[in-house]
Amino acid sequence: MQRLKAGSHSSPSLPEARGRRGLGRGGIVLLETPLSGSLPTRASRGEREKSRPDCRLLAVLALVAFACTPAGAQADVRRDATVEAVQRVMPAVVNIATEEVVPIRDPLENLFRDFFDPYYRRRQPNTQYSLGSGVIIDEEGYVLTNFHVVGRARKVWVKLPDGREFEADKVAVSSAVDIALVRIRAKEGERFTAVRFAGDDDLLLGETVLALGNPFGLGGSVSKGILSSKTRRPPSQDEPLDVLDWLQTDAAINPGNSGGPLINLKGELIGINVAVLNQGQGIGFAVPVKRVAEILSEIYSPESLDGLWFGARVRPGSQPLQIVAVQSESPAGKAGLRPGDLIVQVNGNKPRSFIDFASVLRAARDQRDLALVLQRGADTRKATVRQVPESSFFNADLVRKKLGASVQALTPALAQSLGLFRMEGLLIADVDASSPAARAELKQQMVITSLDGQPANDVVQTAKKLHGKAKGEKVRLELIIPIQRGNYIRLNQATVDIAVR
């Protein structure tokens, strides 16, 4: 092909094209010629349609576009989703330390000893023990952590990533799920960075997850992995923790970040880290956020803390707050609240968080009405609720209604008078004829020690468990049967299954 002379009506040579300062799209010169060989003459329309784009031209255009981008506008390749999520959540991750550790026996004794005893043996007496991590879930300084981190502590201290330290109070705990809620003792009006909750079932198998912690007060710690399982079950039926569907990850979870958050790449809380499997290599577990939200709504409630019955469960982490369960015979149920309702206002104010809402309920007690504004679909509704003492409904009368047996708490004085020293449970005072209790051959002065494997030491709690049973559903009772033999009392053990009324 003949080389064109300068001045002809054709495209300039490649160096000339590169030097041209005229603008095409986006300030880039648009070249329509190949990068090698002679420059073509004007081709016919048919020849142009037969031509193919040259990949080398596209590469040059990409390089030119990158070079024309201002330096300040170029993205930092290091600032990926992981870095963004960590920077968003890390201010809410705290270290948990205690001044004293109380020697007690509980279902988590083996876990506690396996993970922390070597650390204790290296510490001097009368010093603080850094036991793990936690995460702030409310701007007023409420922190979630593991029960095994704070459950046996007389004094709790919280250290923030910025170095500030505060004493904290244990507010509510659940040893069964290994979850505890503590509150930072802060100045009036002081606010803290809080983590956001992910949706209950917003989990993707194989997604990238991050285990954050503040181990031993030395600063933030991050380990990265994937979500290996959403439904990991305990290997045996004798597990001390009541968590059926663990989150499993290969992100390292150790005593230092036990109690800290497991988050997704959006910076949302998907679980609370728990170190539970000694035999596993690179395997970590976390309590899923759904179970965390459920147990938090139970342990931080007027029912659990004050013995007052509201009767509706609200999911923590949602905004606006959503009601997830309502007991039909409760004050909330009688006021017309339903699962799915959104709480818009309480006493004229929008609740800032679940903690704020529960605090308003606790402050009202059974002395003041609660004026609620609810969103139900497209409708707005108003409701008035007044809490009542739980004992006004969950009492011995309810137990008798469900089982056909009258019971009373076995106080130390009553136990001593019956020769049942150091025994706890519910004493059967009477049995109705033709009742489920009578058919199970329950008798007076037998002692109910457990119901479905849970201690039966309190009438209110036992009545609440029975109230949750449907008609005909069976409940398992463990009994102590005292048998008088002269001046001696022999205690026999028995287990019976009773279908409730």
Strand-pairing partners, residue 138, are: 142
With 0-12 CB in 10 A as exposed, 13-18 as middle and 19+ as buried, what is 348? exposed
Alpha carbon separation from 2 to 37, 65, 419, 450 (Å, rounded): 11, 32, 119, 101
Catalytic residues: 148, 178, 258
396 backbone dihedrals φ, ψ, rounded to 5°: -65, -30
- Judge contact between 227 and 247, C-beta under 8 A: yes
Taking the C-alpha atoms of residue 7 and residue 12, their distance in angstroms, rounded to an integer, is 9
The rounded distance, in Å, linking the Cα atoms of 292 and 462 is: 24
Listed residue (470, 436, 474, 472) closest to 452, CA to CA: 474
Integer Cα distance of 436 and 443 in angstroms: 12
For the chain, count helices (H), then strands (E).
14, 26
Report the Cα–Cα distance between both ends of the chain, in Å, rounded: 101
SS (H, E, C) 242-306: CCCCEEEECCCCCCCCCCCEEECCCCEEEEEEECCCCCCCCCEEEEEHHHHHHHHHHHCCHHHHH
Alpha carbon of 112 to those of 107, 232, 373: distances in Å? 10, 21, 45
b/e burial code for range 58-78 (CB count within 10 A of at least 16 → b):
eebbeeeeeeeeeeeeeeeee
CA distance 45 to 116: 80
Q: What is the Cα 231 distance to its own chain's centre?
A: 15
Q: Is residue 320 reached through a cis peptide bond, with omega within 30 degrees of 0 on the bond before it?
A: yes
Question: What are the Cα distances from residue 405, in Å, to 338, 397, 398, 461, 463?
Answer: 33, 9, 10, 16, 12
DSSP characters over 17-41: HHH-----GGG-----S-SSSPPP-
Q: What's the rounded Cα separation, in Å, for the pair 495 and 501? A: 19
Residue with tokens 């707050």: 321
